[in-house]
Structures are given as C-alpha cells and as structure tokens.
Amino acid sequence: QLLFSGFSKTRENLAVVDELLTYWNLDESESILDELEEVLLVSDFGPKTALKIVDTIRKDILAGRLKSGPQIKEALKKNIFKLLTERVTTTELQLGNSRPAVLMIVGVNGGGKTTTLGKLANRFKKEGVKVLMAAGDTFRAAAGEQLEVWAQRTGSEIVMAEGPKPRPAAVLSQAVRRAVEEDFDVVLCDTSGRLHTNYNLMEELRGCKRAVSKALSSAPNEVLLVLDGTTGLNMLAQAREFNQVIGVTGFILTKLDGTARGGCVVSVVDELSIPVKFVGVGEGIDDLQPFDAQSFVDALFP
C-alpha cells in the first residue's frame, strides 16, 4: 500500500462513497447515483468518465444485477479497473528486437522528466542494459548538467548539447547515431518542456521525433509522456495535446507520493486508450515502479 501512499486527498473524497452506499436502497437509487457522480467529479474523474461509470452501474441496478451497497462498491471498483485496462495494450516497455531501442521522454517543465529519465536509467543498469542518455532539453539552462549527474550516478554515457545555440534534434540525432555505432542497448532522450501551449515547442518536438526516426531508420520505440500527478485535470489537456503532436505510447505519472489526484488518471487512460507504464513515488533513484491497475484501484478504495 506504500505504493500510492500519497493519495490521501482522493481517498478522503472517495471515502464518502462508503457512507453513501451504506444507505443505498432501490427507492433512493437515483439520488444516490447522482451523489456518486458528484463524488467522482470532486475526485477529478472528469465529467465523461464519471458519467460513464455511473451509467454502467445504473444499468446493472436496473437489470437487477446489483442489489446492495457492497455489491455496488465492488462494481464501482471493477468498472474503474476495466477503464484502466480494457482498451490499452501492455504496460510493459516495448523495446522491440533491434538495438538500440530509443525512448523519448516528453512533458512540460517541472513535471519530473529529467528525474524520471535518471530513474529509468537506473532500472536499465540493474538489468545490465547499456544506456546512452541524450541531453535534448537545450532550453532549460540547468537541464543538461542535471542529467549529467544522473548519468554519473547510473554509470550511463551521455551526449551533451554543444555550441552556443544547440538544436535539440541535432543532439538526439547524434546520440542515436553514436548508439548504433557503439552498440548501446537503449537511448534515453530528454526533451525540452516549455508550456504545452507553446507552438514552437510542439514544432520542435516533431522535429526531434523526425530526427530520431531518420537516425534510427524507424520510429522511436516509445514516446513516454511524463505527467505530474498533482496537476489534476490539467493532465488531460496535456495528454491530448502531446498525443496529437507526436503520438504518445505510454504515460509516466510522477509525484504520486505527494498530493496526487488519482481520479484524473482514470480519465486520461479512458479517453486516450494509452497505458500508464510507470509511476514516480518519490525523488530518489529507486522511486519508480511499474504501474499496476489493481493496486491503484485498491489504493483509491481501501
């Protein structure tokens, strides 16, 4: 349970569900379902997803499949689990068969991209995988140095930006070419993350993906969008936009140890059908865990 220890706010909100369902009876079903929807909204589930969940439960009640409060609560958990798993492919990283595999890490500044990249390098290193980092965040002044520290800590090699006005695409392209020549297994590409509303950033990201694809002679194996778990439904807007621009293959949710907003995770996966692959649960090097939908749901409704 330590895994999602930071969900206290969401858990507090959802605790009301127990109270609500204690008094559930068929006559008052409608008003209780309305309240249930309200609780889901307050818990950041987002209007579409909240409605979808409550509608499914309503149908099951009307069909006589759900007859008591506890049954309804179980159904609620099952529905949420289903939304997290039903339409997404595996939560495992897809590295393909040829080497190097290239992972682009994208997301807005401050979300935890660079830290996550370091944590990923640490996981790979433990598996004996040879990692090359690419310091593609040439916009944020300290990003390169921050990444260099992670490279040293994890015993990874790194390609840094050079010259007065480095182009991120050139850094990534250089890294991929070096990885091909020197038989690296994995290239972890950091990218810059000015606000997602910034048109130039999105153009830049497209350029980065093109550069990687050209150097690798195929698309990057993963484009992982780092989402700050504390940002609530803002997360949904970011996920839509990044996915539209470069095609996201997986999410990494960070800061789930803090005041994370659990509900929106369900909305993001439900709306975009893209899996969460990892969760960040602290600032330390080992604080990255594979996402497990069942423990997530269990943490929401203990």
Nearest to 166 by CA among 135, 188, 194, 193: 135
- We find the least distance from the C-beta atom of residue 231 to ligand GDP, in angstroms, to be 12
- We find the least distance from the C-beta atom of residue 72 to ligand GDP, in angstroms, to be 33
Residue 258 neighbours by CB under 8 Å, 6+ apart: 6, 229, 230
Cα–Cα dist 227/22, whole Å: 35
Say how many C-beta atoms besides its own lie within 10 A of residue 63's C-beta: 8
- We find the least distance from the C-beta atom of residue 127 to ligand GDP, in angstroms, to be 21
Farthest-apart Cα atoms in the chain, separation:
72
**Strand ranges (DSSP E) for the chain?**
101-106, 131-136, 157-159, 186-191, 222-228, 250-254, 276-280, 288-290
Residue placing its CB nearer to ligand GDP in the complex, 215 or 225: 225
- We find the least distance from the C-beta atom of residue 295 to ligand GDP, in angstroms, to be 16
One DSSP character per residue, 263-288 reads: HHHHHHHHHH---EEEEE-SSSTT-E
Using DSSP's 3-state secondary structure scheme, residue 141 falls into coil
- We find the least distance from the C-beta atom of residue 88 to ligand GDP, in angstroms, to be 21
Binding site for ligand GDP (CB under 6 A): 107, 109-115, 193, 254-255, 257-258, 280-283, 287
- SS3 percent helix, strand, coil of the chain, rounded to 5, is 50, 15, 35
Residue placing its CB nearer to ligand GDP in the complex, 5 or 109: 109
Residue placing its CB nearer to ligand GDP in the complex, 33 or 245: 245
- We find the least distance from the C-beta atom of residue 55 to ligand GDP, in angstroms, to be 34
Residue placing its CB nearer to ligand GDP in the complex, 16 or 285: 285
What is the number of the residue whose Cβ is closest to ligand GDP? 280
Q: Which residues sit opposite 280 in a β-bridge?
A: 288
Residue placing its CB nearer to ligand GDP in the complex, 40 or 121: 121
Q: Which residues sit opposite 220 in a β-bridge?
A: none
Residue placing its CB nearer to ligand GDP in the complex, 204 or 257: 257
Residue placing its CB nearer to ligand GDP in the complex, 109 or 295: 109
- We find the least distance from the C-beta atom of residue 271 to ligand GDP, in angstroms, to be 23
User: Residue 220: exposed, middle, or buried by beta-carbon count in 10 A (0-12, 13-18, 19+)?
Assistant: buried
